Every structure is written in structure tokens, then in C-alpha cells.
Amino acid sequence: MDPLSRFLTGPRARAAFALRVVMDPPFAIEVRDEAALTVIVPVRGQAWIVPDHAAPQSLGPGQAAAVRGPGPYRVADSAHRAPTVVIDPGQSCRTPDGEHLGTTMAHGVRTWGNSAEGDTVMLIGTYRSEAAVGALVTSALPPLAVFTQQETDPALRGLLERELTTAGPGQEIALDRILDLLLLDLVRAWARRAGASLPSWVAGTGDPVVSQALAMLHEQPAGPWTVAELARRVHVSRATLAARFRAAVGQPPMAYLTTWRLALAADRLVDSTATTATIAAEVGYSSAFTFSTAFTRSYGASPTAYRRATHVRHPRNPPGSRGSTSP
């Protein structure tokens, strides 16, 4: 299972936050929710996406944007508009002066904004998890990616809008799955762009031998892998695999495997109560001590500290995560 498939089948896909935002100018929503990834799909009107440290980009109907977190950004009717609303972690909203706006701007179960029938309508889906496998996936996209009408599937846009505007049984699951498909479609669209900077797990799929090796590492991360064993499985010499893997992926096979194992472990630390020893064994480490040393070296915190810090920043069910009227 590659990182994108892992992301879409993991806990993040079951914790997405979806909302229909309806706004009349002037507006500028300052987003400080520290989410891992947000997808924005305009249905009507024009908006600007203004990252903290990048050039603003306009967004119109038929397009889509993906914004990587956890840094702040604005969604506004003008690239230079000062914030009128601030979205904090937990998807709570307020004025820049601190006045709570959740009830004031609610227009239904999943509709929110400064007008019931505004000039600008956007569909927004947010993946809050910062688990490391999610980070590997979002690394396939730049901090802000804007997609053209040709790159954005109108059928997926239509499904998302329908689910956000029509209440029915199973709506939460339907929204999660639609957001998953939309994200998958956008990541693939970015990977198809000429000259796009791609992460190692995407770039490696361009070489059929390396692609086979990556698939094996993804499917069996706890296996007793060596470069020689991988080479035997893909029917090339050890030297050939090592050279082709480094050329395609940018690092040796065993270094990539370490990255993948620790990413899976970080994901488990966030979304399970399994012990460090259990997680270490699941991802291929012979002892909890060896795993803890490798994890601390890579993530700058011990597994226990990483789990505690992540749960504090992003509780599993933050206020407003389901059925809330505020983003």
C-alpha cells in the first residue's frame, strides 16, 4: 500500500471536516487551524488564496485548490483584504477581536458564512491529522496548488456539493469518501504536470524496477529486507537496483525503508493506543529501544513525547468536528 493509499484508508479519511461556505464581499477568512491539508472548491464567485509566505492566487468556479498546513493562510474576496474572520484550531471561528462567530454565521448543518445567499460559494474539506503518513502524502503537493477546470473532475465537485446541501443517512461517510477521491484526483493531476517537483515515493514509480521494489517495501515494511533480497525479487543485480533506486528516489533503498517505517510508526502513535514496543515490532524493529532511538533522531522527540504532543494539538474529536455549523 503506497503512502497515498495508506492516507486514504487510514484514520485521516474518517476525520475530515467538510463545509459549504457562503460569503458576500468584503470578506477575508484567516485560517489558523493548523490542519495538514485543506481542499477548496469554488462553486460560485471568485476568491483569492493568500498564503503567509507565497504569492496570492485567484480561484474561480470549476477550479480547485489544495493548501498544505500547518501554516496560516487567507481566503478572501481581495488579495489585500485584512482578516474579517479567524479560524482557530478545533475549527472554532471568531472576529480578529476575539468575538465568537459560530452561531452568528450558521446557515444550516453544514453551511456557514456572512450571508445565506452570498456571491461567493466554496466547498471546503479539511484533513486535520498531521500523522507522518499524511505528511508523506501532502509532500506530493506544494504549499499551495491551484488546479484548472481541466484538472478538476466536475463529477466529484458535483457529488461534494450534493452531499453538503442534502442531509441523508450515511452523509458523513459519503463526504469522507468523496473528499478522498477528490484528493486522489488532485494529487494525480499534480503528478502529471510537466516539471512538477515530486516526492521520492511518486518519482520512483517512473522506473518499473524501482516501482516494484517500492511496492514491496510499502506492502511489507516489517520484512527483513536487504538490498540483495529486493534485487533478487525484482530480478536485477544488487548494484543495478541500488543505482536505479537512488537515481529515481533520491536515496538508497534501506534509507527509504527507514523513512517509511518511521512514518507508519508515527501514524500509529497518533491514531492508536498501542504500546511503543508493539508499534516497533509492527514496523520491523527488533526492540523498542532501537525503534525509539531511530524515531527520536528522525522526529526530534521520543515516541511517547510525539504521541502526547500530537494529541494535545489535535484531539481525536475536537469541538465542531462533526455536524458543527462553524468551520
pLDDT in tens, 189-199: 988 886 667 77
pLDDT of res. 192: 83
CA neighbor of 12 nearest in space, from 126, 164, 159, 172: 126
Most confident of 97-106, 155-164, 167-176: 155-164
Query: What percent of the chain stands above pLDDT 90?
Result: 57
Does position 317 have pLDDT exceeding 90, yes or no?
Answer: no
pLDDT of res. 323: 34
How far lies 136's CA from each of 19, 27, 145, 164, 264, in Å? 25, 33, 16, 28, 10
| Higher-confidence position of 305 and 116 | 305
| Higher-confidence position of 135 and 32 | 32
- 200-312 belongs to which CATH class? mainly alpha
For the question of whether the overall pTM of this predicted structure is more than 0.75, the answer is yes
> CATH for 3-192?
2.60.120.280
Does position 275 have pLDDT exceeding 50, yes or no?
Answer: yes
Q: Which sequence spans correspond to the domains of the chain?
A: 3-192, 200-312
Fill in the amino acid letter for 309.
Answer: A
Mean pLDDT of 272-290: 95
pLDDT (tens digit per residue) in 119-157: 999 999 988 766 666 777 777 888 999 999 999 999 999
Mean pLDDT of 257-265: 93
pLDDT confidence of 204, banded at 50, 70, 90?
A: confident
Average per-residue pLDDT in the chain? 87
Most confident of 87-91, 110-114, 221-225: 221-225
Query: What percent of the chain stands above pLDDT 70?
Result: 90
Beta-bridge partner residues of 157: none
Q: Are strands 73-76 and 64-68 parallel, antiparallel or unpaired?
A: unpaired
Most confident of 100-104, 130-134, 214-218: 214-218
- Residue 58: DSSP 8-state: E
Residue 91 contacts residue 44 (beta carbons within 8 Å): no
